Amino acid sequence: MKDLANFLFEVGMLQRTPRTGFQFLGTGGESVAEHVLRTLFIGYTLCRMDGQADLRKVLQICLFHDLPEARTGDMNYVNKKYVSVDEEKAVSDLASTLFFGDDIREAVREFNEKKTRESLIAHDADQLSLILVLKECGDLGNKYSAEWISYARKRLCTENGRELAAAILETQWSDWWFKEKGDWWVNGNRG
């Protein structure tokens, strides 16, 4: 049980591990845990759109794909030019004491290899999570986000991922809650 407790404390580090690319964008930000949560929802959505992929596998890959960052930190594209991270050792060390460690190893391996339908969906979920944050930043005035989005779109692997990205980019980030402007926004729920 102590190994399980340690694992759950380690997972908590993802809440305190920032996604470091935002320092270069100049706005926005999220923790790795926030990124993983949105990636899970996107992975679920893309899997349902696909209709043939194994939902459990997609969700497992999305859940574990950035877990090693609790040990390695998040390496943005600039960092990766200069710093090497031994992700394999991080995965091996964190999984070695867990009875479900093979699930973690397999999910991270499958994500990195990008050979299965499920891993391609998980990759798109990962990139769409970034695209959503970048779109929010752009809608709020960041002039660099559009260029970043163009590169993230090139990393998309599936047609459903590309179609969802197009819909995201055609939608204002606040539409879901602010599209029905009117008297309610003046009077609240008082009619």
Lowest mean pLDDT among 11-15, 38-42, 50-54, 185-189: 185-189
Reply yes or no on whether the pLDDT at 182 is more than 90: no
| Percentage of the chain lying above the pLDDT 70 cut | 98
Question: How crowded is residue 179: how many other Cβ atoms within 10 Å of its Cβ?
Answer: 9
pTM attached to this predicted model: 0.94
Q: What is the pLDDT of residues 10-32, one digit of tens each?
A: 999 999 999 999 999 999 999 99
Q: Could you tell me the two tokens for 183?
A: 């008297």
> What local confidence, expressed as pLDDT, does residue 183 receive?
76
- For all residues of the chain together, what is the average pLDDT? 95
Please tell me the distance from the alpha carbon of residue 177 to that of residue 41, in angstroms, as a whole number.
19
| Band of residue 106 on the pLDDT scale cut at 50, 70, 90 | very high
CB atoms within 10 A of CB 52: 7
At residue 19, φ and ψ (nearest 5 deg) are: -75, 115
Residue 42: per-residue pLDDT: 98
Q: What is the 3-state secondary structure (H, E, C) of 95-154?
A: HCCCCCHHHHHHHHHHHHHCCCHHHHHHHHHHHHHHHHHHHHHHHCCCCCHHHHHHHHHH
DSSP state of 30: -
Confidence (pLDDT) at 178: 85
Q: Residue 84: what pLDDT?
A: 94
Rounded Cα–Cα distance for residues 13 and 18 (Å): 10
pLDDT surpassing 80 at residue 180: no
Q: Set out the domains of the chain in order of their start, with CATH numbers.
A: 2-187 (1.10.3210.10)
Residue 46 has pLDDT above 90, yes or no: yes
pLDDT of residue 191: 54
